[in-house]
Amino acid sequence: NAGVTQTPKFQVLKTGQSMTLQCAQDMNHEYMSWYRQDPGMGLRLIHYSVGAGITDQGEVPNGYNVSRSTTEDFPLRLLSAAPSQTSVYFCASSWVQGAYEQYFGPGTRLTVT
Amino acid sequence: KQEVTQIPAALSVPEGENLVLNCSFTDSAIYNLQWFRQDPGKGLTSLLLIQSSQREQTSGRLNASLDKSSGRSTLYIAASQPGDSATYLCAVGVGDYGGSQGNLIFGKGTKLSVKP
């Protein structure tokens, strides 16, 4: 199993550009989530999904969109990048929401200039 | 609102020492608690998961305890090694039995350095 994979590893955007961060898992996990990690702030939940076709907002959803058309994939879209979205983004998954340990991807380091 | 605090923010110990990392949370109605390790520039690796009904979990040289009533968890590392140097993160699973059940709220971590 590859586990949780994320692409790209690094990305530089200009303010106003849009892009999609990819996340995929091959463990047949129902629950997937996106976090951002900022210095001094810890990890914060952006969006999560409890299964294909179902998504919900986390603590910091503004400026981000998600969809879940398959069990395996959970892309995160930045609609119009802002410097405040400069961060490291992590995708995570687990069997179902709540009861099981969560597995994290290697992260995407995004810089918005 | 649930808040998770980890103290100290950084810790430096000599190799071989036993050590304890602390995590506290403000709302005792949690679903579970998970300890992670993060190496510089890397993702998070799950170390131990404690369900809300459990008091402790052990894996190798690691032992994590949970006291829900006092809002505390500790991660005990026995016979520390330089390879244990990393940032250790505590995350609480939200206990709200609505849609957000189990979503994680993280502390800011303890950066551990084990000197040879």
What chain B residue is nearest to A43 in terms of C-alpha separation? Answer: B106
* B44 vs A contacts (CB less than 8 Å): 43, 90, 92, 104
Q: What integer best gives the mean pLDDT of chain A?
A: 94
Neighbouring residues of B10: CB distance < 8 A, sequence distance ≥ 6:
B110, B111, B112, B113
What is the Cα–Cα distance from B108 to A36, expressed in whole angstroms?
Answer: 13
Task: Compute the C-alpha angle B77/B78/B83, nearest 5°.
Answer: 70
Out of A45, A97, A103, the one facing B46 most closely (by C-beta) is A103
Percent of chain B with pLDDT over 70: 97
B69-116 pLDDT, tens digit per residue, is: 999 999 999 999 999 999 999 999 987 666 677 789 999 999 999 999
User: What are the tens digits of pLDDT across the range B54-77?
Assistant: 999 999 999 999 999 999 999 999
CB contact under 8 Å between A104 and B101, yes or no, is no
Name which of B49, B100, B106 is nearest A43 (Cβ-Cβ).
B106
Q: Which residues of A touch B9 (CB under 8 A)?
A: none
User: So what's the pLDDT on residue B99?
Assistant: 67
- Per residue in A12-51, pLDDT (tens digit) is 999 999 999 999 999 999 999 999 999 888 899 999 999 9
CA distance B116 to B95: 41
Per-residue model confidence (pLDDT) at position B98:
65
